[in-house]
Amino acid sequence: MILPCHCYLFAEHSMILTERRIIYAQDIMVLTGRSRSYAYYCMKRVREHYGKLKHQLITFQEFADFHGIPVSDLGFSLILRNKIN
Protein backbone atom coordinates (compact mmCIF):
# COMPACT_ATOMS: atom_id res chain seq x y z
CA MET A 1 0.00 0.00 0.00
CA ILE A 2 1.45 3.38 -1.01
CA LEU A 3 0.51 6.28 1.24
CA PRO A 4 0.51 9.90 0.11
CA CYS A 5 3.46 11.98 1.33
CA HIS A 6 1.38 13.55 4.10
CA CYS A 7 0.42 10.17 5.61
CA TYR A 8 2.67 8.11 7.84
CA LEU A 9 2.09 4.63 9.21
CA PHE A 10 3.38 3.86 12.69
CA ALA A 11 3.31 0.08 12.91
CA GLU A 12 4.05 -0.13 16.63
CA HIS A 13 0.96 1.95 17.44
CA SER A 14 -1.17 1.11 14.39
CA MET A 15 -1.85 4.81 13.93
CA ILE A 16 -2.05 6.78 10.70
CA LEU A 17 -1.27 10.49 10.71
CA THR A 18 -3.25 11.99 7.85
CA GLU A 19 -2.47 15.69 8.23
CA ARG A 20 0.85 17.45 8.28
CA ARG A 21 1.51 19.63 11.31
CA ILE A 22 4.74 21.24 10.09
CA ILE A 23 4.89 24.19 7.70
CA TYR A 24 7.66 24.37 5.10
CA ALA A 25 9.03 27.19 2.96
CA GLN A 26 7.12 25.86 -0.07
CA ASP A 27 3.85 26.18 1.86
CA ILE A 28 4.64 29.79 2.72
CA MET A 29 5.49 30.47 -0.94
CA VAL A 30 2.08 29.13 -1.96
CA LEU A 31 0.23 31.03 0.76
CA THR A 32 1.91 34.39 0.15
CA GLY A 33 2.78 34.21 -3.53
CA ARG A 34 6.26 35.43 -2.62
CA SER A 35 9.78 34.14 -3.22
CA ARG A 36 11.61 31.30 -1.50
CA SER A 37 13.95 33.78 0.23
CA TYR A 38 10.93 35.62 1.67
CA ALA A 39 9.51 32.29 2.90
CA TYR A 40 12.76 31.49 4.71
CA TYR A 41 12.80 35.01 6.16
CA CYS A 42 9.27 34.46 7.53
CA MET A 43 10.30 31.15 9.03
CA LYS A 44 13.34 32.79 10.65
CA ARG A 45 11.16 35.48 12.25
CA VAL A 46 8.72 32.89 13.61
CA ARG A 47 11.61 30.82 15.04
CA GLU A 48 13.08 33.90 16.71
CA HIS A 49 9.69 34.85 18.16
CA TYR A 50 9.20 31.42 19.72
CA GLY A 51 12.84 31.03 20.78
CA LYS A 52 13.43 28.03 18.55
CA LEU A 53 16.79 26.93 17.23
CA LYS A 54 17.59 26.75 13.51
CA HIS A 55 17.02 22.98 13.32
CA GLN A 56 13.63 23.08 15.08
CA LEU A 57 10.47 22.86 13.00
CA ILE A 58 7.57 25.33 12.88
CA THR A 59 3.96 24.20 13.10
CA PHE A 60 1.06 25.64 11.13
CA GLN A 61 -0.38 26.82 14.46
CA GLU A 62 2.77 28.76 15.37
CA PHE A 63 2.94 30.36 11.92
CA ALA A 64 -0.73 31.32 12.02
CA ASP A 65 -0.54 32.73 15.55
CA PHE A 66 2.54 34.79 14.74
CA HIS A 67 0.90 36.31 11.67
CA GLY A 68 -2.55 36.69 13.22
CA ILE A 69 -4.20 34.35 10.71
CA PRO A 70 -6.72 31.65 11.69
CA VAL A 71 -4.99 28.30 11.23
CA SER A 72 -8.06 26.99 9.39
CA ASP A 73 -7.44 29.58 6.64
CA LEU A 74 -3.93 28.24 6.07
CA GLY A 75 -5.08 24.68 5.48
CA PHE A 76 -7.98 25.84 3.33
CA SER A 77 -5.63 27.89 1.12
CA LEU A 78 -3.23 25.00 0.65
CA ILE A 79 -6.02 22.55 -0.14
CA LEU A 80 -7.49 24.88 -2.76
CA ARG A 81 -4.07 25.44 -4.30
CA ASN A 82 -3.43 21.68 -4.54
CA LYS A 83 -6.80 21.06 -6.18
CA ILE A 84 -6.15 23.79 -8.77
CA ASN A 85 -2.73 22.34 -9.71
The verdict on residue 48 lying in a domain is yes
The verdict on residue 77 lying in a domain is yes
Residue (of 18, 28, 13) closest to 60 by Cα position: 28
How many residues does the structure list for the chain? 85
Residue (of 40, 51, 47) closest to 63 by Cα position: 47
The verdict on residue 3 lying in a domain is no
The predicted pLDDT at position 20 comes to 79
Is residue 60 within 8 Å of 72, Cβ to Cβ?
no
Tell me if residue 17 falls in helix, strand or coil. Answer: strand
The verdict on residue 79 lying in a domain is yes
The verdict on residue 11 lying in a domain is no
Looking at the structure of the chain, the number of domains it has is 1
The verdict on residue 12 lying in a domain is no
pLDDT beneath 50, residues of the chain: 1-14, 17
The verdict on residue 50 lying in a domain is yes
Strand partners, 59: 22
The predicted pLDDT at position 84 comes to 58
The verdict on residue 44 lying in a domain is yes
For residue 56, the enclosing domain spans 21-84
Record the pTM: 0.69
